[in-house]
Amino acid sequence: MRSLLGDTILSVRNFVTQAARRALGAVGISALPLKGPRFGLDVFRDLKTFAPEHRFDVVLDVGANVGDFSVAAVAAFPSARIWAVEPIGSTFRQLEKRVGRWQQINPVHCAMGAADGELTIRLQDVSQHNSLLLEAERQPASGGPAPAKFETVRITSLDAFGRAHGVETVDLLKLDVEGYEREVIAGAGETLDRTAFVLCEAGLFASKHIHVPFETVAKLLWGKGFTLVAAYNMFYYFDNLPDGYGDVLFVNRSVCQLQRK
CA atoms within 13 A on the CB side of 154: 9
Instruction: Report CA torsion sign: 48, 216, 209, 90.
Output: positive
For 58, 104, 123, the CA distances from 78, given in Å and listed in that order, are 11, 8, 34
What is the pLDDT at residue 244?
A: 84
Q: Phi/psi zone of residue 63: left (φ > 0), alpha (ψ -120 to 50 degrees), beta?
A: left
| CATH dotted code for 35-118+157-252 | 3.40.50.150
Which residue, among 110, 118, 131, has the nearest Cα to 201 in the 3D structure?
131
What 3-state DSSP class applies to 76?
helix
Tens-place pLDDT, residues 127-151: 555 555 655 444 444 444 555 788 8
Domain locations in the chain as residue ranges = 35-118+157-252
pLDDT value at 125 more than 80: no
**Cα–Cα distance, 87 to 131 (Å, whole number):** 10
Tens-place pLDDT, residues 196-243: 999 999 988 766 567 889 999 999 999 999 999 999 988 877 666 667
Q: Are 105 and 66 in contact (CB under 8 A)?
A: no
**Cα–Cα distance, 16 to 239 (Å, whole number):** 36
Tens-place pLDDT, residues 38-50: 678 899 999 999 9
Question: Beta 117-122 vs 150-156: how paired, if at all?
Answer: antiparallel
Which residue, among 250, 227, 255, has the nearest Cα to 46 in the 3D structure?
250
Among 95-109, 163-177, 241-255, name the one with the lowest average pLDDT.
Answer: 241-255
User: How crowded is residue 149: how many other Cβ atoms within 10 Å of its Cβ?
Assistant: 12
